[in-house]
Structure 1
Amino acid sequence: MKAVRFYGKHDVRIDDVDEPSTIADDEVLVRSTYCGICGTDLHEYTEGPIWTSATPNSFSGSALPQILGHEFAGRVEAVGRSVTTLRPGDRVSIQPQLGPRDGYFGSRNLAFLSGRGATIGLSWPWGGMGEFAVVKDYNAIKLPDDVTDQQGALIEPAAVAVHAIDRSGLKPGGTILITGAGPIGALAVLAARAAGAGRIFVSEPNPNRRSRIEQLGVGAVLLDPTTESVVDRIRQETDEGIGVDAAVECAGNGRALDACIDAVRAQGVVVVVGLMQGKTPVEPFKWIIKDITIQGSLCYPLTIWPRVIDMIRSGLFPVETMIDDEIELTDILEKGFKPLLDPTGAMMKVLVRV
């Protein structure tokens, strides 16, 4: 079968690999239909290996070269003998986190925090950018008829955004700042609107991405941090100049984090989603005198898929508006990675037709 495999920095290839020949009793064979290109895939390509590894993963045994793709949907081809929740022909969206069920984190369904877990498409033998993938039964969540495979492929990044908004404590009518209008930032905008945000401020230096946020039609206040003070503008537009109730940092840089800290009101919440490489200077004194909460947000509860599916079905969470293009496996670099890595571009999400 054809598969996109990552070998190392700037080294992604279209390979012919053997199809899965056997599945365990608790496993499911899935034929991939659509797979999203994630920012994590792009980071692997430009800076990796990061999440992928040259040494075998302690749980899965997977090592480079790695079949990429952790945002995907597909159809069930076969199920193991102990699988009762799925049958061949079912359409599914893949929740990619897996790991042992023992120990403190594993027993709490949080293996991705244990250091012993794996992620399909990053540290598991299979990924969504291969024609077939073997997953555990709990990784494959059945899709209803009124949710498309394309929407199903976007549930994973949507779950990241919904969880970040949950962590912010945003209430209906509340105010929120989102820094960085890449795919996760844009999905966080949609999730904030679905959560009932009264006002959404978005800080993004790229005019093309600001235009994409405007096209979402949620009425966000768009800010260019290169030409105006984000904090001053927010103080002007919030009651008594106190700032926003919450901020979600999706840009992955220290300046944006500082803006979030300065923009939230006293006892506000700052959620950090963007991945920052290396150290960044911080001023904890600000946190103390404002009595604010700084909250990290990694992944999502593994049980969130049905909730996100229902949000999509309701029309409150139109994730399909993020899709810019659908490409073939063989075009992964020229029509996928390269335009998504363009710092002046507007593209949010490219789906690979597998």
Structure 2
Amino acid sequence: MKSLVLERKDDLSLRDVPEIDRAEQDLGPHDVRIKLHTVGICGSDVHYYTHGKIGPFEVKAPMILGHEASGTVIETGADVTTLKPGDRVCMEPGIPDPNSKATRMGMYNIDPAVRFWATPPVHGILRPTCVHPEAFTFKLPDTVSFAEAAMVEPLAVGVHAATKARVRPGDIAVVLGAGPIGLVTALSALAAGCARVYVTDIAEKKLEIAGSLSRAITPVNVTSENLVEVVKRDTDGWGADLVFEATGSPRAAAQIFEPLAPGGCVVMIGGQPDPISYDAGAAMVREARVENIFRYAHVFPRCVAMLASGAIDVKPLITRTFEFDDSVHAFEVAASAPPADVKMQIVLPQ
């Protein structure tokens, strides 16, 4: 079946991948076969395309891209009980070893043996169909569209970050970065109880989108405003209770404690290509708590429920949609990082 294949750095093609057809010909008893509908373009997909690697994960053989997805169940294994053909679903893309110590401790996202779509050498799902475990496939309510469902995966990062931050009602938060992850983190922080969230970026269009999401979000363009001064001014000099780093920028990480209040919490979300430094002394005098997240765990049902109820609205973040036959062009556009775009998605033929 025709798939979007990253042949090597800077080289994409739409072609058949026979080994996928062979590997997924048979359905396991606890698996479902899914016809893909919508797949989001993630920053990691683009990074593999433009750089060929992320940290230790290097593209050494052709790999199908894509891991943010929704679709429809078309076949179920013999022992599947919660899903049936015709069910609309979204899928959690990381499959851990069920017997690993990390999984048994409930931290399956950091299982060293986890197989995650579109992370070398595991193929992704920019293709017509896939086979996936029932346990990591989630039925969609009628009120959640395929496009929204394909946003559950990035939203899960934000919800996991807010959970790790231990948001309390009325907290003041700062989110560094108004990309897709930064904005879902801001929405998650508000849903968790924050009274106000400051969102920073250098792209005015992204900040306009951030400001349109909620009157509780204050956009800050760091090219013309001093974030620390803004936060201190609005908090009587105290600072923000929470700071979420969602840029992946060493410069942002180096200054991460400056807007933080004493006793506050920093959550590191953005992936760093190289080791970074931050001011340990600034953390110490604040007794700051520092949390790190790696993807997410146990949050997909929560995300689906919040989309269904309207507690979180991700529709404004979906700024451009491409047909599957235009997938190569879609990645070329995404790699150019248009300042007015947040999340681009690809729709497959139905």
Task: State the shift of 1:73 in Å.
Answer: 0.6
Long gaps (5+) in structure 2: none
Name the residue aligned to 1:309.
304
Matched residue of 2:125: which SS? Answer: coil
- Counterpart CA distance in 2 for 1:332 and 1:244 is 41
- Counterpart CA distance in 2 for 1:11 and 1:214 is 37
Q: CA RMSD in A?
A: 1.8
- The structure-2 alpha-carbon separation of the partners of 1:27 and 1:52, relative to structure 1 and needing over 3 Å to count, comes to farther
Worse-matched range after superposition: 133-142 or 31-40: 133-142
- Counterpart CA distance in 2 for 1:222 and 1:16 is 44
- Counterpart CA distance in 2 for 1:124 and 1:111 is 19
Name the residue aligned to 2:37.
33
Task: State the shift of 1:242 in Å.
Answer: 1.0
- Counterpart CA distance in 2 for 1:262 and 1:178 is 13
- Counterpart CA distance in 1 for 2:314 and 2:249 is 25
Contact 1:328 1:353 survives alignment (8 Å): yes
- Counterpart CA distance in 2 for 1:225 and 1:97 is 35
Contact 2:41 2:68 survives alignment (8 Å): yes
Name the residue aligned to 1:44.
48
- Counterpart CA distance in 1 for 2:38 and 2:51 is 25
- The reply on whether 1:17 has 2:21 as its aligned counterpart is no
Name the residue aligned to 1:281.
277
Task: State the shift of 1:244 in Å.
Answer: 0.4
Task: State the shift of 1:179 in Å.
Answer: 0.5
- The reply on whether 1:95 has 2:92 as its aligned counterpart is yes
Matched residue of 1:223: which SS? Answer: strand
For 1:306, give the aligned amino acid. Answer: P
For 1:275, give the aligned amino acid. Answer: G
Q: TM-score, normalised by structure 2?
A: 0.92
Task: State the shift of 1:215 in Å.
Answer: 2.4
Identity %: 28
- Counterpart CA distance in 1 for 2:345 and 2:41 is 6
Contact 2:173 2:240 survives alignment (8 Å): yes
- The reply on whether 1:243 has 2:247 as its aligned counterpart is no
For 1:309, give the aligned amino acid. Answer: V
For 1:338, give the aligned amino acid. Answer: E
Matched residue of 1:269: which SS? Answer: strand
Task: State the shift of 1:218 in Å.
Answer: 3.3
- Counterpart CA distance in 1 for 2:17 and 2:327 is 17
- The equivalences for 1:37-186 within 5 A come to 37-50=41-54, 53=58, 64-123=61-120, 126-186=123-183
Contact 1:339 1:347 survives alignment (8 Å): no
Contact 2:109 2:296 survives alignment (8 Å): no
- The structure-2 alpha-carbon separation of the partners of 1:54 and 1:248, relative to structure 1 and needing over 3 Å to count, comes to closer
- The structure-2 alpha-carbon separation of the partners of 1:326 and 1:344, relative to structure 1 and needing over 3 Å to count, comes to closer
- Counterpart CA distance in 2 for 1:108 and 1:79 is 29
Name the residue aligned to 1:61.
none
Task: State the shift of 1:49 in Å.
Answer: 2.8
Task: State the shift of 1:338 in Å.
Answer: 2.9
Name the residue aligned to 1:7.
7
Contact 1:8 1:49 survives alignment (8 Å): no
Name the residue aligned to 2:340.
346
* Alignment deviations for residues 248-280 of structure 1 (CA, whole Å, 9 cap, x no partner): 010111222233311110110000101111122
- Counterpart CA distance in 2 for 1:314 and 1:258 is 38
- Counterpart CA distance in 2 for 1:343 and 1:49 is 18
Contact 2:14 2:328 survives alignment (8 Å): no
* Alignment deviations for residues 161-219 of structure 1 (CA, whole Å, 9 cap, x no partner): 11111222222211000000000111112112222321111111111211121222334
Long gaps (5+) in structure 1: 56-63
Contact 1:27 1:135 survives alignment (8 Å): yes
- Counterpart CA distance in 2 for 1:317 and 1:124 is 34
Contact 2:255 2:278 survives alignment (8 Å): no
- The structure-2 alpha-carbon separation of the partners of 1:225 and 1:7, relative to structure 1 and needing over 3 Å to count, comes to same
Contact 2:202 2:222 survives alignment (8 Å): yes
Task: State the shift of 1:54 in Å.
Answer: 5.2
Contact 2:269 2:293 survives alignment (8 Å): yes
For 1:330, give the aligned amino acid. Answer: D
- Counterpart CA distance in 2 for 1:53 and 1:338 is 20
- The structure-2 alpha-carbon separation of the partners of 1:16 and 1:98, relative to structure 1 and needing over 3 Å to count, comes to same
- Counterpart CA distance in 2 for 1:172 and 1:14 is 48
- The structure-2 alpha-carbon separation of the partners of 1:155 and 1:344, relative to structure 1 and needing over 3 Å to count, comes to closer
Name the residue aligned to 1:60.
none
Contact 1:247 1:269 survives alignment (8 Å): yes
Q: TM-score, normalised by structure 1?
A: 0.91
- The reply on whether 1:293 has 2:294 as its aligned counterpart is no
- Counterpart CA distance in 1 for 2:195 and 2:78 is 50
Task: State the shift of 1:129 in Å.
Answer: 0.7
Worse-matched range after superposition: 102-111 or 309-318: 102-111
Matched residue of 1:144: which SS? Answer: coil
Task: State the shift of 1:125 in Å.
Answer: 5.3
- Counterpart CA distance in 2 for 1:256 and 1:5 is 33
